[in-house]
């Protein structure tokens, strides 16, 4: 079985600096920049991305369930897909450093891999739970097409 904790190093190396930079720049927009609806929208998207990144980084201290990890990394990947075009269009207008865009773009592949691993483990666990609930199956005395299988009571 795959371990869900295989994503830890990428967020130690890359996530924290980008999160801090994204949060600082999106929260520090002032004056005409903050009044621009594009910059406000971009700031909200960066904050949503940052919040999901913080949740993912929190997995270093508290191991998530596979379902929780799948959910967070799916949300993080989708938030990245949402924020990248907004950054490409408005980062210069909103006076954001270019390294925010390159950092988020660079993380998308790794986030996608971690999401695939986490969701794969979650799916395996669900499958195992369903198999356990169904019982031992055909050879274990479970139900067959005509109903429960009966063992003859004669001389065995």
**Which residue do the tokens 């999401």 mark?**
115
pLDDT digits (tens, 9 = 90+) for 112-153: 999 999 999 999 999 998 888 876 555 554 555 555 666 666
The first and second tokens of residue 20, run together, are 């801090």
pLDDT of 133: 83
Kindly list the distances between the CA atom of residue 40 and the CA atoms of 31, 55, 95, 139, in Å, as whole numbers in the listed order.
12, 23, 12, 63
User: Which sequence spans correspond to the domains of the chain?
Assistant: 8-133
The first and second tokens of residue 102, run together, are 């390159």
Alpha-carbon torsion angle 74, 76, 77, 79, nearest 10: 120
Which residues lie below 8 Å from residue 94, measured CB to CB, with a gap of 6+?
A: 29, 33, 36, 38, 39, 42, 43
pLDDT digits (tens, 9 = 90+) for 44-90: 999 999 999 999 999 999 999 999 999 999 999 999 999 999 999 98
């Amino acid at each position: 079985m795959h371990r869900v904790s295989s994503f830890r190093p990428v967020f130690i190396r890359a996530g924290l600096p980008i999160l801090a930079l994204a949060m600082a720049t999106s929260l520090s927009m002032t004056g005409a920049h903050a009044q621009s609806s594009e910059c406000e929208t971009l700031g909200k998207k960066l904050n949503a991305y940052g919040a999901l990144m913080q949740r993912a980084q929190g997995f270093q201290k508290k191991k998530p369930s596979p379902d929780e990890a799948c959910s967070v990394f799916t949300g993080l990947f989708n938030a990245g897909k949402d924020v990248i075009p907004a950054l490409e269009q408005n980062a210069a207008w909103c006076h954001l450093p270019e390294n925010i865009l390159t950092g988020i773009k660079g993380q998308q592949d790794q986030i996608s891999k971690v999401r695939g691993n986490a969701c794969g483990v979650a799916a395996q666990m669900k499958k195992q739970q369903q198999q356990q609930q169904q019982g031992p199956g055909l050879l274990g005395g479970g139900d067959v097409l005509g109903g429960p299988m009966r063992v003859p009571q004669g001389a065995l």
